[in-house]
Structure 1
Amino acid sequence: MTNANQDIDQLITLCKAGNRSAQFEVYNRYYKPMYNTALRIVKDSHWAEDIMQEAFLKAFTKLESFKGEVTFGAWLKKIVLNHSLDNYKKINKNAMDALDDILYKVEDTGYAEDVTLDFQSVKIQEVMAALNSLKESYRIILTLLYIEGYDQEEICDILVISPGNCRTTISRAKESLLKKLNA
């Protein structure tokens, strides 16, 4: 176990005991990446700030359920991600209806051809702009896959979709992103 893991384990123990300075230290360590996670989903800085803070409150109240099976950061990120998606669905009801229609009605055609993107010649800003210009279902699924680093099984659990729908949506999202980058 590294010193950082030991240090966070000690902080978590103090947080469970209600130590406010330990909670503040945990917040300071994880604030920025959790804010960025929320921002990538909801695309609004004020909204992301609120979601991130609510997720921290939820995490601190549910700290007893943290068993250490994954890192604390991964556990917290899952809370932030789920809270972001839940809030996004509430506020963008119409957008999420369209997302649900696409995700639940996609035929499972098996594994689609893998679309390879040539990111060597594309700047990060161009990729992010193209990603943000995709329709919501594609933007969210590619954000979960490439930016947040979830695998397809985890994405299926997060979005409550079948593996076939996940594969097909990822394939179509990649194709759409490639077209935008080549345009």
Structure 2
Amino acid sequence: MEIGNKDIHYHLIEAAKRYDQSAQFELYNLYVKAMLNVSFRIVNDRDEAEDVIQEAFVNIFKNIDKYRGESTFGAWVKRIVINASINLLKKRRLDFVDVDEAGGMIDDDFETEEESLSLPVIKSAIMELPEGFRAVLTLYLLEGYDHKEIGEVLGITESTSKSQFNRAKKKLREILKERYQYER
């Protein structure tokens, strides 16, 4: 499928495919800040997120001819950034515990605490979570992945993703209770 005029940056993308450096620079500037935020939410380290972004954009422009317009360019870029962020986490050797080994119940009903706490407070608490918990919680709640997709991306089972998500929620509640006296 060829890129259609539906992508608002169609002309920039086409120019970038022709190795037009000014078009590549403009695309970079359009997406870098948002993608840095995506990566930071996953890796929780500003310097590492910046490294991920640089690596991701090198790959994006090296492989831009593979972009076919099946999704928006922004979604394609975001997928590459998420995968690069997850690859960094894999290098750190995340310690995931399978739900079958955990022996705990899975709490499927999660309601956000945003009603009582500000978004910056919740984001700050999420950044305090252990890497495995934070990765799954971020991919599920903030990036919209389901547990099957998270399992595929992280190389874990779907049940492990669910387990990590539920443990992350529990730990997040503990952090919010301890730091902000928030109870639910």
TM category, shorter = 0.7 to 0.9
Distance between the aligned counterparts of 1:73 and 1:130, measured in 2? 28
Deviation, 1:175, is: 2.2
Deviation, 1:168, is: 2.6
Are 1:175 and 2:176 matched, yes or no?
no
Residues 1-183 of structure 1 correspond to what in structure 2 (within 5 A)? Answer: 5-90=6-91, 92-93=92-93, 96=94, 98-99=95-96, 102=97, 105-107=98-100, 112-183=107-178
Aligned residue for 1:134, secondary structure, equals coil
TM-score for both structures, normalised by structure 2? 0.82
Aligned residue for 1:121, secondary structure, equals coil
Q: Which amino acid aligns with 2:129?
A: L
TM-score for both structures, normalised by structure 1? 0.82
User: Contact 2:43–2:131 at 8 Å: present in 1 too?
Assistant: no
User: Contact 2:99–2:162 at 8 Å: present in 1 too?
Assistant: no
Deviation by residue 1:119-166 (Cα, 9 ceiling, x = unmatched): 211122221222122222111111112222323332222112222222
User: Contact 2:43–2:135 at 8 Å: present in 1 too?
Assistant: no
Larger mean Cα displacement after TM superposition, 161-170 or 17-26: 161-170
Deviation by residue 1:68-116 (Cα, 9 ceiling, x = unmatched): 11111111111111112212332x34xx2x23xx1xx321988644233
Structure 1 stretches of at least 4 aligned residues deviating more than 4 Å after TM superposition: 108-111
Unaligned runs of 5+ in 2: 179-184
The share of aligned pairs that are identical, in percent, is 37
